[in-house]
Chains A and B, each alone.
Chain A
Amino acid sequence: ETGVTQTPRHLVMGMTNKKSLKCEQHLGHNAMYWYKQSAKKPLELMFVYSLEERVENNSVPSRFSPECPNSSHLFLHLHTLQPEDSALYLCASSLRRGTLYNEQFFGPGTRLTVL
């Protein structure tokens, strides 16, 4: 148990569906991240929120839409996804001190399958 929870753990959706992934951290951190992990590939950073402000967006398609209502919660809204978006989606959090992004603590991930 890392103090970062993600729901749901598994999600199957059609290409026309709209769904949301949820992440919650109980560590008092002030930075949260979404990563995508495809088979045999490195973790790809999708979004970073620090102090509730999005500070990085690595050219992720607009069918992925993040939301960070407060420092403990992070959402990833999904709509009109493609089969190639099937992957493990990991949430992480860390404590940002000044400009330092400290070690990140990961949730268990949501295994997403797009049909």
Chain B
Amino acid sequence: DQQVKQNSPSLSVQEGRISILNCDYTNSMFDYFLWYKKYPAEGPTFLISISSIKDKNEDGRFTVFLNKSAKHLSLHIVPSQPGDSAVYFCAASAGARQLTFGSGTQLTVLP
């Protein structure tokens, strides 16, 4: 049973618009959440993280929102750029132990 779920395998967005990537989790013990971006033929690269004591963390064009009651987090990219086209993975950990990853969402930003 997947504890971290990314239900949308793909998302297409127009350049300049907002991209919203969603992630749901089932383990209430998760207290640290991360987003990774992966280009083809490369390993995932860390993008942004959030601790469960916060509900929002912002870094430039990237903002992660955490809704603990709904066990849901989302990544907002504003404005979206063609170079943002990649697979985005969300990940979670409980008590600073191993990361559990979702299956990823392929984001395509159309020029």
Interface residues of A (CB under 8 A from B): 2, 4, 6, 40-43, 45, 48, 56, 90-92, 99-101, 103-109
| Number of residue pairs A-B, CB distance < 8 angstroms | 53
- Beta-carbon contact of A2 and B45 below 8 Å: yes
Residues of B within 8 A of A (CB-CB), count: 25
Provide the bound-state CA to CA distance between A4 and B46, in Å. 13
* 11 new A-B contacts at CB < 8 Å, known A90-B44, A106-B44: A42-B100, A42-B101, A45-B99, A45-B100, A101-B97, A103-B49, A104-B99, A105-B45, A106-B43, A107-B43, A108-B43
- Beta-carbon contact of B98 and A48 below 8 Å: yes
B99 to chain A: closest residue by CB: A104
- Beta-carbon contact of A42 and B98 below 8 Å: no
7 cross-chain CB contacts under 8 A: A4-B43, A99-B96, A101-B97, A101-B99, A106-B44, A107-B43, A109-B43
